Amino acid sequence: MEDNSEKTEAETFLKSLLNKNLRIYTTDGRLFIGTFKCVDPNSNVVLSLTYEYRQPSAQKLAAAAASASSDADADTVTADMTSRYLGLVVVPGKHIVKMEAEEFSSQAKSRSILERRDIYGNR
């Protein structure tokens, strides 16, 4: 019975994420940002309106380091991630390292109010 309640809780949580923006980090260092649409039994995640971000190549990092070393005041080296629009994607569950839901403070406030209603009932 306890296993069934965990499954129900997991389904409820996933349903709460539907149509929310997620950030998914993968084992190869890529980052996918898109709208959560569904997940399958193998933990593959489907995102729509997705952008992929990649770490800069070694060549770009070397060029950024060279330009930073010419500037005497620079203490750090910065290089932008490369990005591209992908649209609808399936991210294999076995390659997902971390998932984050994008939430604005206004969404968090309204969610916390709803959670208190669930706990304390309608007063």
| Angstrom distance (rounded) from CA 5 to CA 2 | 5
| H or E stretch covering 60 | helix 58-70
pLDDT in the model for residue 110: 55
Average pLDDT, the chain: 83
pTM score, two decimals? 0.72
- 95 CB-side CA count, 13 A: 14
Q: What is the mean pLDDT of residues 93-110?
A: 80
In the chain, what percentage of residues exceed pLDDT 70? Answer: 79
Question: In this structure, are strands 31-39 and 21-26 parallel, antiparallel, or unpaired?
Answer: antiparallel
pLDDT in the model for residue 109: 57
| Angstrom distance (rounded) from CA 35 to CA 88 | 9
pLDDT band for 26, please (50, 70, 90 cuts). Answer: very high
Q: Which residue has the higher pLDDT, 72 or 28?
A: 28
pLDDT in the model for residue 123: 44
Q: Which residue has the higher pLDDT, 13 or 92?
A: 92
| Angstrom distance (rounded) from CA 97 to CA 23 | 11
- Number of Cβ atoms within 10 Å of the Cβ of 15: 8
Over residues 31-90, the pLDDT tens digits come to 999 999 999 999 999 999 999 999 888 888 888 888 777 765 667 777 788 899 999 999
